[in-house]
Protein backbone atom coordinates (compact mmCIF):
# COMPACT_ATOMS: atom_id res chain seq x y z
CA UNK A 1 0.00 0.00 0.00
CA UNK A 2 2.97 2.33 -0.12
CA UNK A 3 3.86 2.12 -3.80
CA UNK A 4 3.17 5.00 -6.15
CA UNK A 5 -0.53 5.52 -6.79
CA UNK A 6 -1.57 3.39 -3.84
CA UNK A 7 -3.27 4.15 -0.56
CA UNK A 8 -0.96 5.69 2.04
CA UNK A 9 -3.54 6.86 4.61
CA UNK A 10 -6.76 5.21 5.76
CA UNK A 11 -9.27 7.61 7.31
CA UNK A 12 -12.41 6.71 9.25
CA UNK A 13 -15.48 8.56 10.41
CA UNK A 14 -16.71 7.61 13.89
CA UNK A 15 -20.52 7.53 14.29
CA UNK A 16 -22.15 4.64 12.44
CA UNK A 17 -18.82 3.82 10.80
CA UNK A 18 -16.53 2.58 13.60
CA UNK A 19 -19.11 2.57 16.37
CA UNK A 20 -22.81 2.58 17.15
CA UNK A 21 -24.29 4.36 20.16
CA UNK A 22 -27.86 4.27 18.90
CA UNK A 23 -27.39 7.94 18.02
CA UNK A 24 -24.55 10.32 17.17
CA UNK A 25 -21.95 10.76 19.90
CA UNK A 26 -22.89 14.42 20.33
CA UNK A 27 -26.45 13.29 21.14
CA UNK A 28 -25.34 10.92 23.91
CA UNK A 29 -25.26 11.87 27.58
CA UNK A 30 -21.75 11.58 29.04
CA UNK A 31 -20.09 10.68 31.26
CA UNK A 32 -19.89 7.12 30.03
CA UNK A 33 -19.75 4.12 32.30
CA UNK A 34 -18.09 0.80 31.66
CA UNK A 35 -19.39 -2.22 33.55
CA UNK A 36 -17.43 -5.31 34.61
CA UNK A 37 -18.20 -6.99 31.26
CA UNK A 38 -16.79 -4.03 29.32
CA UNK A 39 -20.19 -2.74 28.19
CA UNK A 40 -20.13 1.04 27.76
CA UNK A 41 -23.26 3.11 28.28
CA UNK A 42 -24.05 6.78 28.63
CA UNK A 43 -26.24 8.29 31.36
CA UNK A 44 -29.37 7.69 29.25
CA UNK A 45 -28.55 4.00 28.83
CA UNK A 46 -27.35 4.17 25.22
CA UNK A 47 -24.99 1.25 24.57
CA UNK A 48 -21.85 2.41 22.75
CA UNK A 49 -19.90 -0.30 20.96
CA UNK A 50 -17.56 -0.87 18.06
CA UNK A 51 -18.91 -2.77 15.10
CA UNK A 52 -17.86 -6.43 15.36
CA UNK A 53 -15.07 -6.37 12.73
CA UNK A 54 -13.45 -3.06 13.73
CA UNK A 55 -10.76 -4.40 16.09
CA UNK A 56 -9.65 -7.05 13.59
CA UNK A 57 -9.52 -4.43 10.82
CA UNK A 58 -7.43 -2.08 12.96
CA UNK A 59 -5.14 -4.97 13.89
CA UNK A 60 -4.63 -5.94 10.23
CA UNK A 61 -3.84 -2.37 9.23
CA UNK A 62 -1.43 -2.00 12.17
CA UNK A 63 0.39 -5.19 11.11
CA UNK A 64 0.85 -3.67 7.66
CA UNK A 65 1.97 -0.37 9.27
CA UNK A 66 -0.71 1.61 7.45
CA UNK A 67 -1.13 5.08 8.99
CA UNK A 68 -4.66 5.65 10.28
CA UNK A 69 -6.65 8.84 10.77
CA UNK A 70 -10.02 9.99 12.03
CA UNK A 71 -12.23 12.64 10.47
CA UNK A 72 -15.36 13.32 12.51
CA UNK A 73 -17.58 16.38 12.38
CA UNK A 74 -18.96 15.98 15.90
CA UNK A 75 -20.10 18.92 18.01
CA UNK A 76 -18.79 17.14 21.12
CA UNK A 77 -15.14 16.24 20.56
CA UNK A 78 -14.69 15.55 24.29
CA UNK A 79 -17.35 12.83 24.19
CA UNK A 80 -15.82 11.30 21.05
CA UNK A 81 -12.37 11.28 22.66
CA UNK A 82 -13.76 9.75 25.85
CA UNK A 83 -15.33 6.94 23.84
CA UNK A 84 -12.17 6.38 21.83
CA UNK A 85 -10.31 6.00 25.11
CA UNK A 86 -12.88 3.68 26.73
CA UNK A 87 -13.04 1.54 23.61
CA UNK A 88 -9.26 1.24 23.67
CA UNK A 89 -8.61 2.54 20.17
CA UNK A 90 -7.60 6.20 20.54
CA UNK A 91 -3.87 5.49 20.18
CA UNK A 92 -4.40 3.57 16.95
CA UNK A 93 -4.95 6.79 15.01
CA UNK A 94 -1.84 8.85 14.31
CA UNK A 95 -3.91 11.73 12.90
CA UNK A 96 -7.18 12.97 14.37
CA UNK A 97 -9.51 15.67 13.08
CA UNK A 98 -12.44 15.60 15.52
CA UNK A 99 -14.49 18.80 15.67
CA UNK A 100 -17.52 20.42 14.01
CA UNK A 101 -17.05 21.41 10.42
CA UNK A 102 -16.96 20.28 6.84
CA UNK A 103 -15.02 17.13 5.93
CA UNK A 104 -13.16 19.15 3.31
CA UNK A 105 -11.49 21.10 6.12
CA UNK A 106 -10.65 17.85 7.90
CA UNK A 107 -9.00 16.52 4.76
CA UNK A 108 -7.18 19.75 3.98
CA UNK A 109 -5.59 19.57 7.42
CA UNK A 110 -4.85 15.84 7.06
CA UNK A 111 -3.15 16.54 3.74
CA UNK A 112 -1.03 19.30 5.28
CA UNK A 113 -0.14 17.23 8.33
CA UNK A 114 0.73 14.01 6.48
CA UNK A 115 2.03 15.31 3.17
CA UNK A 116 -0.05 12.66 1.38
CA UNK A 117 -2.00 13.65 -1.70
CA UNK A 118 -5.77 13.29 -1.61
CA UNK A 119 -5.63 10.44 -4.12
CA UNK A 120 -3.36 8.54 -1.70
CA UNK A 121 -6.11 8.56 0.94
CA UNK A 122 -9.14 6.34 1.39
CA UNK A 123 -12.05 7.41 3.58
CA UNK A 124 -14.80 5.27 5.10
CA UNK A 125 -18.01 7.04 6.15
CA UNK A 126 -21.71 6.27 6.53
CA UNK A 127 -23.02 9.60 5.21
CA UNK A 128 -23.32 10.16 1.46
CA UNK A 129 -22.85 13.94 1.79
CA UNK A 130 -19.37 13.28 3.20
CA UNK A 131 -18.65 10.73 0.48
CA UNK A 132 -19.61 13.25 -2.22
CA UNK A 133 -17.57 16.05 -0.61
CA UNK A 134 -14.40 13.99 -0.31
CA UNK A 135 -14.75 12.43 -3.76
CA UNK A 136 -14.85 15.97 -5.16
CA UNK A 137 -11.25 16.59 -4.01
CA UNK A 138 -9.91 13.24 -5.17
CA UNK A 139 -10.08 11.17 -1.97
CA UNK A 140 -11.15 7.58 -2.57
CA UNK A 141 -14.34 7.59 -0.50
CA UNK A 142 -16.20 4.43 0.47
CA UNK A 143 -19.79 4.45 1.67
CA UNK A 144 -20.33 2.34 4.79
CA UNK A 145 -24.12 2.04 5.06
CA UNK A 146 -24.22 -0.43 7.97
CA UNK A 147 -20.99 -0.02 9.90
CA UNK A 148 -17.47 -0.97 8.93
CA UNK A 149 -16.95 -4.64 8.14
CA UNK A 150 -14.00 -6.76 7.18
CA UNK A 151 -15.18 -7.81 3.74
CA UNK A 152 -15.76 -4.19 2.69
CA UNK A 153 -12.31 -3.10 3.87
CA UNK A 154 -10.70 -6.14 2.28
CA UNK A 155 -12.37 -5.42 -1.06
CA UNK A 156 -11.10 -1.83 -1.00
CA UNK A 157 -7.63 -2.30 0.46
CA UNK A 158 -6.85 -5.97 -0.23
CA UNK A 159 -5.61 -6.43 3.37
pLDDT of 18 strictly over 50: yes
Going by pLDDT thresholds of 50, 70 and 90, the confidence category of residue 2 is very low
pTM score, whole prediction:
0.94
> Which stretch of 5-9, 17-21, 47-51, 142-146 has the lowest confidence by average pLDDT?
5-9
Q: Kindly state the percentage of the chain with pLDDT values over 90.
A: 93
- The answer to whether residue 2 is catalytic is no
Which of 2, 13, 26, 125 does the annotation list as catalytic?
Answer: 13
**pLDDT computed for residue 6 by the predictor:** 86
On whether the CB atoms of residues 122 and 139 are closer than 8 A, the answer is yes
**pLDDT computed for residue 4 by the predictor:** 43
Which of 15, 42, 76, 126 does the annotation list as catalytic?
Answer: 15
Domains and CATH numbers, the chain: 9-20+50-157 (3.40.50.1000)
**pLDDT computed for residue 159 by the predictor:** 57
**pLDDT computed for residue 72 by the predictor:** 97
- The answer to whether residue 13 is catalytic is yes
Note the pLDDT tens digit of each residue in 104-135: 999 999 999 999 999 999 999 999 999 999 99
Note the pLDDT tens digit of each residue in 19-58: 999 999 999 999 999 999 999 999 999 999 999 999 999 9
**pLDDT computed for residue 147 by the predictor:** 95
Average pLDDT, the chain: 94
Amino acid sequence: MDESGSIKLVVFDLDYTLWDCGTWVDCTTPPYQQDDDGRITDQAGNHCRLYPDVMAILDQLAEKEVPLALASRTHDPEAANALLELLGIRDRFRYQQIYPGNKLVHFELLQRETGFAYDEMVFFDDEMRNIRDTLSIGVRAVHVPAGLNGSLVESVLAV
